Amino acid sequence: SRHRIAVIPGDGIGREVVPAGLEALHATASRFGISLELDEFGFASAEYWQRHGTMMPADWEETLRGYDAIYFGAVGWPEIVPDHVSLWGSLLQIRRTFDQYVNLRPCRLMPGVRSPLAGREPGDIDFVVVRENTEGEYSSVGGRVFEGTERETVLQETVMTRIGVDRVLRFAYEQAARRPARHITSATKSNGISISMPFWDERVADMAGRFPDVRVDKLHIDALAAQFVLHPERFDVVVASNLFGDILSDLGPACAGTLGIAPSANINPERDHPSLFEPVHGSAPDIAGQGIANPVGQIWCASMMLEHLGHPEAAAHLLGAIEDVLALGPAEAPLTPDLHGKGTTVELARAIADRVRER
Amino acid sequence: SRHRIAVIPGDGIGREVVPAGLEALHATASRFGISLELDEFGFASAEYWQRHGTMMPADWEETLRGYDAIYFGAVGWPEIVPDHVSLWGSLLQIRRTFDQYVNLRPCRLMPGVRSPLAGREPGDIDFVVVRENTEGEYSSVGGRVFEGTERETVLQETVMTRIGVDRVLRFAYEQAARRPARHITSATKSNGISISMPFWDERVADMAGRFPDVRVDKLHIDALAAQFVLHPERFDVVVASNLFGDILSDLGPACAGTLGIAPSANINPERDHPSLFEPVHGSAPDIAGQGIANPVGQIWCASMMLEHLGHPEAAAHLLGAIEDVLALGPAEAPLTPDLHGKGTTVELARAIADRVRER
Ligand SMILES: CC(C)[C@H](C(=O)O)[C@@H](O)C(=O)O
Ligand SMILES: CC(C)[C@H](C(=O)O)[C@@H](O)C(=O)O
């Protein structure tokens, strides 16, 4: 069976790491006899915006609907289009329209990667953030009154629904039930945010009843962020609202050395719509065009995508190749500058693709 | 002139660190001939709640209004009263009613304190978080509909006003203008939170025009949290909304070794109302009653309070005493367990008070 993949490089380093990711994907697919059909799209980019005045074509939904997965780079180029316009006009809209309500973000300290945390070794940091991905603080509901006057007031609604919260919690509990530690940490802020967050806590407690084997803790987001730095070894599955999950899934990878290797899967678990795979990092205008962006996050996304498409062995093989190359360290492997190496995007991707073939 | 101080120990370790803080405060006051009149109050505690069914007496505002400052411990005891009830019924209400719209939270890696970040030395981490303290994400506006049904939906409003944002930004820019680095980082999330955060960015840009000498950066909160871990040396003044400031002012102190030493000043800059001084840490039910809570955050608060009351020399002297004792390290000084020592709250406070007298 052939898988149809939509490829969207987007902006900035997205255009550099996506080809790198595809090289590793192709190497893995041919090794495992997986047949892929790839179509590349130029929308969801500032270039497209400049030409069309929108981020995506009007029929983007029909266009993407038929694919088994979307392999996405990064979007955002604030010099040309304000971030909230580019993101709400592309990535955030795709997540919502395709009901990709789980954003799964593994965070692992890899062999060969230096953590900024003193004395941390691979094994000390190995958790997964399950982020709600369609509602909550990212609502687009609200507005301004008395614009331009001293009375100017801005309202932005956080919207949480029982359906929306329960389904992501269920996914998180199921993940935890399958992992050896069987432990969930729920990110809250119910002491300060007095309506939505107590509701979140209630749903967490309710879901706990259905998973008696899973141990559950709740921590306020401020304390939780502090604990990531002080005790990252305490975390297994972390479940969080859209905003809190966003913050924790950048902070976690930073603690594990670099954002450059962190992948994410925007999943519609029911498979009514395609899921989307993109690295956690953004388009990084500051280093775009230099050929030094770390391709590992994008390559790890290819592994998550293979897993989602029903090829767990191929996924594990590719992840193993990533680990093998990283483990060589910056002296032996062409690691990128964020990994304290002197390698380029292309060199590091090639080394991983080679390793896929050799292993 | 005599200063009238309201003392509110609150809950948990608040009751342990407040007496410790007062010992250091008294030592400093008598050394500098500062006359203090202290009144202690038992409200803003779970004990008060159990007796009265409210967190504070109806006339709390009149009661506290006449004081020059409030010296506060910590509030919250979720076994007895839900956190959002205890906090909105006390601390958060005081911050708002007394228009303490600046929450000033210095974050510094002190000599003798071990950072969890590899290779970081005192001097590498030294910034101040200026947190908006009355509006934003902590709004208490919103509600639930269709409660208990599948349609259950919760709305929570973020409210930002031009007056509210501008005044805290002005304070932050003024702070930055006075510091050698003259650098502000604004915490935003305008790519994802599409109404309130673009407004925040606009006000930051507008205020920048009035402070041409101050360099200003903006960073999305996810990237900013990551940068605290990867490059804490890049920060000088960080200005943030209520929620973002809350998160960053826990994460920053964690990077600087422990939350136990971090102070905060809830300031009404116009001095129309008393300001409130409280450590960043909470009531810590897990270690309460053991006598091992770190009193340094509470003592540093006494220094900030003395500064606010017009005694910069006394404030600096007390902060110097804290530094001297911490610099001895856990082998020479009775540092508490969070500082890798074996000292108790009482012993560490005594050592600092002694040092105040000796210096
Ligand atoms: C207790 C809680 C409501 C409070 C806050 O979030 O403001 C605390 O975390 C703080 O930072 O002072
Ligand atoms: C670009 C931005 C809107 C996005 C988000 O906050 O969701 C990104 O930070 C992410 O984490 O995928």
Last residue of a domain, which of B255, B270, B296?
Answer: B255
**Any domain includes A105:** no
Give me the mean pLDDT over the A79-106 stretch. 96
Q: Please indicate, yes or no, whether residues B323 and B335 belong to a single structural domain of this protein.
A: yes
pLDDT tier, A1 (very low <50, low <70, confident <90, very high otherwise): confident
pLDDT tier, A71 (very low <50, low <70, confident <90, very high otherwise): very high
CA B239 to centroid of ligand 2, rounded, Å? 21
Q: What is the mean pLDDT of each run of 10 residues along chain B (359 residues)?
A: 96 98 98 98 98 98 98 97 95 98 98 97 97 96 96 98 98 97 98 96 97 97 98 98 98 98 98 98 96 98 98 98 98 97 98 97
Q: Please indicate, yes or no, whether residues B234 and B302 belong to a single structural domain of this protein.
A: no
Q: Please indicate, yes or no, whether residues A250 and A141 belong to a single structural domain of this protein.
A: yes
Q: State how far Cα B213 lies from the chain centre.
A: 27
Q: What residues line ligand 2, using a CB cutoff of 6 Å?
A: A 76, 87, 92, 246, 282; B 191-192, 222
Q: Is A226 in the pocket of ligand 1 (CB under 6 A)?
A: no
Domain with residue A146: its CATH number is: 3.40.718.10
Q: Chain B window 242-271: which residues touch A at a Cβ cutoff of 8 Å? A: 242-243, 246-247, 249-251, 253-255, 259
Last residue of a domain, which of B255, B271, B293?
Answer: B255
Q: Is A148 exposed, middle or buried (0-12, 13-18, 19+ CB in 10 A)?
A: exposed
Q: Please indicate, yes or no, whether residues A130 and A249 belong to a single structural domain of this protein.
A: yes
The model's pLDDT over B27-69, given as tens digits with 9 standing for 90+, comes to: 999 999 999 999 999 999 999 999 999 999 999 999 999 999 9
Q: Please indicate, yes or no, whether residues A69 and A132 belong to a single structural domain of this protein.
A: no
**Any domain includes A134:** yes
- Cβ contacts of B115 on chain A, cutoff 8 Å: 118
**Any domain includes B211:** yes
Give me the mean pLDDT over the A79-104 stretch. 96
Q: Is A234 exposed, middle or buried (0-12, 13-18, 19+ CB in 10 A)?
A: middle
**Any domain includes B115:** no
- Average pLDDT of the residues of chain A: 97
Last residue of a domain, which of B240, B255, B270?
Answer: B255
The model's pLDDT over A277-294, given as tens digits with 9 standing for 90+, comes to: 999 999 999 999 999 999
CB contact under 8 A, B162 and A143: no
Query: Residue A282: its pLDDT value, please?
Result: 95
Query: Residue B140: its pLDDT value, please?
Result: 86
- Cβ contacts of A283 on chain B, cutoff 8 Å: none
User: Residue A74 CA: which ligand 2 atom is closest?
Assistant: 1
Q: How many domains is chain A partitioned into structurally?
A: 2
The model's pLDDT over B231-253, given as tens digits with 9 standing for 90+, comes to: 999 999 999 999 999 999 999 99
Q: Please indicate, yes or no, whether residues B261 and B248 belong to a single structural domain of this protein.
A: no
- pTM of this structure: 0.97
Query: Residue B295: its pLDDT value, please?
Result: 98
Q: What is the DSSP letter of B81?
A: B
**Any domain includes B156:** yes
**Does residue A345 register a pLDDT over 90?**
yes
Query: Residue A119: its pLDDT value, please?
Result: 97
B119, B221, B230 ranked by CB distance to A247: nearest: B221
Q: Please indicate, yes or no, whether residues A141 and A239 belong to a single structural domain of this protein.
A: yes
Query: Residue A140: its pLDDT value, please?
Result: 86
Q: Chain B window 67-96: which residues touch A at a Cβ cutoff of 8 Å? A: 76, 82-84, 86-88, 92
**Any domain includes B116:** no
Q: Please indicate, yes or no, whether residues B227 and B268 belong to a single structural domain of this protein.
A: no
Q: For residue B156, give its domain range.
A: 126-255
CA B325 to centroid of ligand 1, rounded, Å? 28
Q: Please indicate, yes or no, whether residues A212 and A145 belong to a single structural domain of this protein.
A: yes
Residue of B55, B131, B247, B249 to mutate for A, most A C-beta atoms under 10 A: B247
Give me the mean pLDDT over the A43-50 stretch. 98
Query: Residue A332: its pLDDT value, please?
Result: 97
> In this structure, what token pair is assigned to residue A90?
């592309």
CB contact under 8 A, B199 and A144: yes
CB contact under 8 A, B115 and A116: no
Q: Please indicate, yes or no, whether residues B162 and B249 belong to a single structural domain of this protein.
A: yes
Give me the mean pLDDT over the A18-38 stretch. 98
Q: Please indicate, yes or no, whether residues B199 and B293 belong to a single structural domain of this protein.
A: no
**Any domain includes B121:** no
Phi and psi torsions of B56, nearest 5°: -140, 155
**Any domain includes A245:** yes
Q: State how far Cα A279 lies from the chain centre.
A: 5
Q: Please indicate, yes or no, whether residues A144 and A243 belong to a single structural domain of this protein.
A: yes
